[in-house]
Amino acid sequence: MQSLTEHVNEIAWDMSGEMFFLTTGNGTVEVLAYPSLRALDTLTAHTAGCYCIAIDPLGRYFAVGSADSLVSLWDIKEMLCVQTFTKLEWPVRTISFNHTGEYIASASEDLFIDIANVETGRSVHQIPCRAAMNSVEWNPKCNLLAYAGDDKNKYQTDEDYIFKEIFTVPSLNFSEIT
């Protein structure tokens, strides 16, 4: 494997475990074969640093969040960008697909978490937040989204913090938000 000269922000495996993805500070995604770590592709994904990456649970797509405030959706077989999500206005810190791969949650310093339909790219729901979010993660079996941000204060216990940051999405039959 060649040595990377770029700053690596986040890493992910594809569902087969045969491809390894690295997001870089120069806006690219490096795709490596495993176990050889041979470079398969370098994708120019964004105009600014790529901060986060998530693999869809069905293995169809991967998504990349960037400092340019965009989330790009990539076809994993073709290595082509097929969709862009544009609701956030600050650098994207975290992204996660729900258990069916139908929805993606993304968050930043905006005071909401955006949930969008993967196929249409349209926002279907927004969860208000009190602070910038550092992490969002869907439950692997149901529409339950956990998230954590910058706003824990000295009066909250760890238990209070965890339980306050869980959002249950009972049906995800939201009317589309424009």
Unique residue bearing structure tokens 């082509």: 80
What's the pLDDT at 131?
A: 87
Any domain includes 131? yes
Q: How far apart are CA 115 and CA 177, in angstroms?
A: 10
What's the pLDDT at 130?
A: 85
Q: How far apart are CA 52 and CA 44, in angstroms?
A: 14
CA angle 161, 138, 21 (to 5 degrees): 115
CA angle 33, 76, 114 (to 5 degrees): 125
Any domain includes 159? yes
Where residue 29 sits, what CATH number does that domain have? 2.130.10.10
Any domain includes 44? yes
Any domain includes 67? yes
Any domain includes 33? yes
Any domain includes 2? no
| 35-87 per-position pLDDT tens digit | 999 999 999 999 999 999 999 999 999 999 999 999 999 999 999 999 999 99
Number of domains forming the structure of the chain: 1
Any domain includes 80? yes
Any domain includes 64? yes
Q: Which of 98-102, 127-131, 147-151 has the lowest mean pLDDT?
A: 147-151
